[in-house]
Structure 1
């Protein structure tokens, strides 16, 4: 049994992670702002992770074997966490994202199309941090989601002084790992993004799916598989640094739509978007940043194939959103 702290964990794969941590015998503490209560038997601390004094007060004298941070989006939040958890944990795991590799949001090393992107393509040890950007502004944060994640990883990686930004005296002292998740699907109504439901609805109604002229492939992961990987990353391994998390198999938007079409009994109808014109549907990409999951496999985690679980995820979406079948 380990003592695990989960920051966030109130919905989707984070909620499932908390349930699985508890089911496997770990002592679990959840920290959130009080909008959702964890399962019975899970300790619940109410605090705003953006308010350092509130977070430290809620933690009291508690210590943990591992902290899993589900809701860290900025370097400012990371710096607060580094200080608040200094001396409280031996290991810190942050949930990150495939979007850190998006070449549309930063100048990144070029990767040949068709070559899955490895973790070293974005090295948080080399990434510059800017604490003085308007990270508190929701509109700015939404527009700079990928950069916020990159800089948060950088702060944790250094857990001290980085690029002239002082995080805090005596900060850190724990091993850090980040899990860079692929696009998460599955779970029916639990999938608050509605992206898979978008495809199920439009294809079942015979409506257009807007795509790029030459859409490039990406990678996906089922929400249960991501919860399993985070459980493994927190309790069964001691790797540090970034780790890509994606099911096996590259799929482009037409591949995804074809699987939805097979489930709904309707042939997808496509509308090609002009360059600089109407936004394409989710998962239609005109740039390449599909991830490689080789490192996770070498460390001992086994992934499923996306094409094996996608039909079930689509069926869940159709059941959860009956309007999609009208």
Structure 2
């Protein structure tokens, strides 16, 4: 059921890339929006600002005061500790909690078929709060596991939030893509250096930055729970990405080098990262086809004539 009234929405994080587009969509939909961050950058006009450290429970509860929300969209929940803190702080303070998760939760589900949500059931995931989740190196090396355990905390029995975990595919597009992944391909083509790929290079699903912002804004107004995959239709290969990049590099041509072990280029995968988006479709969201928006996404990121 879609809520038609204006919502009180809190977005945790979200001042760049996907987040800033999410804020713009929520405002355009007529919702009252508050953003919570550490104060490193102000939110756009029309958005209320709460400054707090989301990892400090006292700071968070003090800054929120008596505020209550219809929906909380958490863009920066990476660990089970953060999820546990969110359960304590937001239970009774919001009717719905939307966590942005990731395709990386499926890192052990290597299958040529598009993976469905039930492949990773948060209720069956073991949570270990003793692991060094505050260590940036550990967290980076265990990104998928951190998201899996965060989902598991939200799905645990007992007094809890009504939550959904949006498992986001690899995001492309926008002139503010800070990852440099497509630029990596462009630079290799300019210099003639080979692009390292696995011997068996698997395809993946992707989503345009505007589309995932649209999905998150839509999900905020829905009432479904549990995990949901968010990916455009169709998989893309490294070769297809490079073909789109080559159009923006004078004389651009991709030269690939297969490696059995060691580091490979961005968006080159030894395992499949394809997600089935059928649940989102049944719930009422219509995704676009990745091949239709790919040329535009590359043009946005690299800039015409690069």
Name the TM-score, length of structure 2 as normaliser. Answer: 0.94
User: Counterparts of 2:186 and 2:297 in 1: how far apart (Å)?
Assistant: 10
On the 8 A contact 2:182/2:302 being kept in 1, the answer is no
Inter-CA distance 154–243: structure 2 relative to 1 (3 Å threshold): same
For residue 184 of structure 1, what is the aligned residue in structure 2?
171
On the 8 A contact 1:263/1:311 being kept in 2, the answer is no
For residue 249 of structure 1, what is the aligned residue in structure 2?
234
* 1:84 and 2:89 aligned: yes
For residue 3 of structure 2, what is the aligned residue in structure 1?
none
Equivalent position SS for 1:15: helix
For residue 260 of structure 1, what is the aligned residue in structure 2?
245
Output the aligned Cα RMSD.
1.5
For residue 4 of structure 1, what is the aligned residue in structure 2?
9
Equivalent position SS for 1:219: strand
User: Counterparts of 2:146 and 2:245 in 1: how far apart (Å)?
Assistant: 33
For residue 166 of structure 1, what is the aligned residue in structure 2?
none
On the 8 A contact 2:248/2:302 being kept in 1, the answer is no
Instruction: Indicate which of 46, 50, 58 corresponds to 1:45.
Output: 50
* 1:198 and 2:184 aligned: yes
* Aligned residues between the structures: 300
C-alpha deviation, 1:200, in angstroms: 2.4
Structure 1 spans left out of the alignment, 5+ residues: 161-170
User: Counterparts of 1:246 and 1:206 in 2: how far apart (Å)?
Assistant: 32
C-alpha deviation, 1:233, in angstroms: 0.3
Moved over 6 A (4+): none
User: Counterparts of 2:189 and 2:232 in 1: how far apart (Å)?
Assistant: 24
User: Counterparts of 1:140 and 1:154 in 2: how far apart (Å)?
Assistant: 19
* 1:295 and 2:273 aligned: no
For residue 139 of structure 2, what is the aligned residue in structure 1?
141
* 1:126 and 2:124 aligned: yes
Listed as ranges, the matches of 1:274-285 within 5 Å are 275-277=260-262, 279-285=263-269
Inter-CA distance 159–82: structure 2 relative to 1 (3 Å threshold): farther
- 1:260-294: CA deviations, max 9, x gaps? 22443522111111x223x1101111112311111
C-alpha deviation, 1:40, in angstroms: 1.7
For residue 319 of structure 1, what is the aligned residue in structure 2?
303
Equivalent position SS for 1:14: helix
On the 8 A contact 1:200/1:317 being kept in 2, the answer is no
